[in-house]
Amino acid sequence: MTTVLLTGASGFLGQHVLRELVAAGAEVRALSRREETDAVIRKLGGTPVRADVTDVASLTAAMTGVDAVFHTAADTNTWRPHNDAQTRTNVGGAENLLAAAKAASVRSFMHTSSVSAYSHLVHGMLREDVAQRGGDSWINYERTKFLAEQAVRAAGIPFIIFQPSHILGPGDTRNWSRLIAMIDQNRLPGVPPGSGAFADVREIAKAQVRAWQREKFGEAYLLGGEHASFLELVTLIGGQLGRKTPKRALPLPLLKIFAQFKYRVSLITRKPPDITPESAMFTCHDLAVDSSKAIRDLDYRATPLPALLADTIAWMRSVQMLR
């Protein structure tokens, strides 16, 4: 039986990847830092291993006998006071994993990156041959995703890189589910003026395991989905929840001014705000993704947005996240 080491196994994407790996017959060791996540991992069929991507010694011990690594863990912070910790996790963590994997003669490394490695500085349709500009970005998350990819490419281990866009689906407790909950509670203050490509977490997990099974080493795959403006997204959510939603997007200058104000207040309170200049930029950007390479190579599919939202909302209701 193939032994896989998985990071981020208790997270939104990581749980789905764990399910797919177990279904594929792999023995999965999943990094875990506390008992609560141990229980989640065991329930999904994995074996929790006490280790942390920032602790080289723990990774070295966890890597013994491992055939492949799936790295899905990441720090998605957008608040500047936490940037140093984010860099240690996203860049240093990837470097630590790669070093431990190389020392243990691990045969392959599957790395979950992000469309953010290309950066908001890139406009138009994203394809894998578009030059990445994450290294030039003022947004730390974009820089760290770019630098982590560079580390993977340079490590000398057969690799596959996955670059998901906005991820939706069952199991989301911290990402777009927050927007859905705000709409359900009639607390949405406004709609940003950008757009995005909305991907199904279940299809992303399946594509990752298929890429590994099909040995698509040396390749990178954009994993997008149906394109929609955030106003269209919010309108769809409101319709499925039976809630009223704004009819127009906020003006871009107003959103940026509001984000700067919230950021400055946060420096006084020392508490992360609900919107930052960085997160505002993400939602002002028009993101379109061409997933044709993944569709061709990995049988990847984009779930229609209304169906994807319906599944996400149904799951949120099942765990009492909605009224």
Pick the catalytic residue from 141, 221, 263, 300: 141
Phi/psi for 196 (5° steps) reads: -150, 170
Structure token digits, residue 72: 């899905």
211's CB contacts (< 8 A; 6+ apart) are 110, 160, 162, 219, 221, 297, 298
Q: Is 141 a catalytic residue?
A: yes
Q: 30 near 49, Cβ under 8 Å? A: yes
Per residue in 252-261, is it b (16+ CB within 10 Å) or e — as a string? eeebeebbee
3-state secondary structure of 294: helix
Least Cα distance to 208 among 70, 304, 40, 316 occurs for 70
Least Cα distance to 95 among 109, 83, 107, 82 occurs for 109
Active site amino acids: 141
